[in-house]
Chains A and B, each alone.
Chain A
Amino acid sequence: MSSFSSCQSVREARRVAIFGGTHGNELSGVTLVHLWMKNGTEIQRRGVETRPFITNPRAVEKCSRYVDTDLNRAFTPENLSAPADGQLPYEVLRAQEINRMFGPKGSPDAYDVIFDLHNTTSNMGCTLILESSKDHFNLQMINYIQKALAPASCLVLLNEHPLLKYSTARSVAKHPVGLEVGPQPQGVLRSNIFESMREILKHALDFIELFNEGVEFPPCSVPVFRVSERVDYPRDANGNIMAMVHPNLQDCDWEPLNPGDPMFQTFDGKTIRYQGSGTIYPTFINEAAYYEKQQAFVATRRETLSANAVRKA
């Protein structure tokens, strides 16, 4: 750590939102936000306004991922600027409303930080999702969270891929952070998963409080898994899946998949192997919601990001 590396000045994080129910059947976030809307003591910190918010109440009511379209893909520039009329899907109207309340996206009035709470059926453990490798505030916060949770692990997924990144609800904020905890079936609340998510947020809010008080966080390294490609299930001519995630790969999120390793198993028992050129680290393996998005798993590569020192401006 060079003592000459510059310390980045970042504006205070005064306004923080916690989104739950962006997918209505991912229950840890729904439950936490409902809890905190009733009694927000646990999420209060000096110098921070922390606002818990249910982003997709109709989907929460139905306990479904979405009503018309996936809210967490709906925050595109086209959608946000579309004229609001009766023809727009529910989630697009909702995205516009959320953009008004917590944005506008890209403007100085936008919320400083948004935590978006998600669950996955994949065996990903505690995962933090970043959209930019250059957000040093976020990198420092993640480093703080990881150190606070140790020896329990919390891994980082970086989705900066020009084609695979998508317009999330949290992208309305200056510093968007996705929390993804699994494995948990949709529509189920598991106590251990719930408590893990709660603990991540506790440390995240502690970091923000310290940061706002003027603490300087020295340069650090943050190991990440960078999204490199999406791998679909083998499908037949009618688009039906022809094979399942192989038992050797199932539940092995974040573990290396080498060329020649088993990847899928057909319904009559044959093995299909990974034919890529190098080792990848699959994640989001067998996520229920991704069957319709043509994704059996996401391939990632390991990388280490350097975070500059940060201090409030």
Chain B
Amino acid sequence: MAAYRSAAGFQRVLHAVKHVCFSKQRCGVIICRYSTVYDPNEKTFDKILIANRGEIACRVIKTCKKMGIKTVAVHSDVDSSAVHVKVADEAVCVGPAPTSKSYLNMDAIMNAIKQTGAQAVHPGYGFLSENKEFAKRLAAEGVTFIGPDTHAIQAMGDKIESKLIAKAAKVNTIPGFDGVVKDAKEAVKIAGEIGYPVMIKASAGGGGKGMRIAWNDEETSDMGFFLSGHISDICANGFCWCLQVLADKHGNALWLNERECSIQRRNQKVVEEAPSTFLDPDTRRAMGEQAVSLANAVKYSSAGTVEFLVDSKKNFYFLEMNTRLQVEHPITECITGLDLVQQMIRIAKGYKLQHKQSDIPINGWAVESRVYAEDPYKSFGLPSIGRLSQYQEPLDLPNVRVDSGIQEGSDISIYYDPMISKLVTYGKTREEALKKMEDALDNYVIRGVTHNIPLLREIIVHPRFVSGVISTKFLPEVYPDGFKGHMLTAGERRELLATAAALYVAAQLRSQKFLGDLRVSVVPAESRQWELCVELDKSVHMLGVSRSGNNYTVSEIVQNITSLVEIDGEKVEVSGEWNLASALLPITINGKHRTLQCLLRTAAGEISLQYLGTSFKLRVLSKLAASLSKHMPEKVPEDTSSILRSPMPGSVVAVSVKPGDNVAEGQEICVIEAMKMQNSMTAAKTAKVKSVHCKAGDTVGEGDLLVELE
């Protein structure tokens, strides 16, 4: 039985050595056992090309290695040193950075196949995974497409046709308008008939691309440029469940249970789990059987996912079928023990399914958090870019799986999806899996890009999420004014203040330790008391710190120091090793174990700590420095209401104003697009436009000046 290997494990080995086999396992941590056997004698493909990048390419390559299949990576020129290129046996450059010229460039990929002699292609998800043209061209060249056949891709790819097929296969479908909308006027009319809110979807879009929700006529007509959309009643507060199916080319099909995918932002999933808390065995079976009957109706083969929207009365409606391996497939793998990529390859090779429906278990609980390079404080996540200056996956923890395609030093660029990794935790129960997720998020070190761990960490401990009352509107309902980070309780606040104070003292003490220097007059620090001023959110706390250290020698790298911090008359005891070089800060506060992260520590007393997922800025000063600080001049920050800056790196889609125009507060000024999403920039006040610094088609960086108002 092969145990699942962690992503960073192999990256760490591979930065030094290009080709390694994956037989050795890191730290003996066993994550998600696969119950399937990799039979070395079963004939399979010699070489597979993976027409994708990032974590999914790495994921597919891992299984290929286990099956003894050689792998070919394709990459754009900016990806030439990417992890998926390093772990593959061969790599071919297929063009420049923009996806249309590389990962979507069929000619180049066909050439790569010819050049390397790959017998089959795994498309991953996105890119060419649901492109019937691509599947056709492969078939014409006698290359196996690891996925369903062209007919199924086409039928399920069209949102309207798929609904008709589903109806015919007796699958429940959503009431609504299933057709092409001609123009904004018609859209408003139809939307009015259905009743708001409505979802307008581009007919060929997938993965949330081009999906928008309109709440009134105005918004519907504003979406004029999304013409020929598709309107359906958006079960305003529904659940989103995905049924995994697996079908072979011999008419056999299985359902592998559901994934609960309701926590979404901008119609893209953030947290997923399997199984669902809400689903009873009967409903599960009913949904599974409908999913299988849909698969049979389109003669589906390979792995696929049938998405259902479910209302509070457990009525479920077919939404769409994804004819590819889905992003969140690991959680299904965790609870069923199946390696879905292996199954896809076997099916593509023409084998019959190894399992019967009765063989499919639900073992334990798995939760997946999608860790993105994005700013969760802006619309629950606007993309961010940058270089991962420090990166450490929490793989020392048991039952944690991280699927990633990046490593320390990787660039998160404007060209591709900003996903950093899929963090999966597994437990016997949901509670255990969620607890593990808390630990994993606290121990996940990401520096250099803004990331969404603050939001993920909040979601998984939110009482509503914990109780299982999840819906697609979870985020806007729980955070109606946008996500603001973790709100500290009085006790947590004390813990945070105490930790900052103790960290400050540990750093101060170390700065007095000069090795072998006889000219240092030693301050008897052991007995010292500190009176500190700690500032958090503009409120200042006077803290007394006393320290009772274990006797330590100077040569020791780390030492245990216990600090007693007094806040508002209450004593908080903080102890830890205080390794000032480590990104992680494991400590014990009043007997409770916590892992914080130190993001910043400056000579001027600024300390940023990541605590319960959120980063908090504190300032620790001696009593003297604090009292003198009151004389320091207040520096006036720039007035931002008349300046419009790009909230994220991306490209300018449209600019709707010119200098001299009068704009009203809230009026759209321009639209910025980055990584699958469009962001409408509005005026912060009613004013005249002073100058415009961008035009449609421009590439802008985060914070770049777009428009100035008077």
A, B from the same assembly: no
Task: Please list the residues of chain B having a beta carbon within 8 angstroms of any beta carbon in chain A.
Answer: none
Task: Please list the residues of chain A having a beta carbon within 8 angstroms of any beta carbon in chain B.
Answer: none
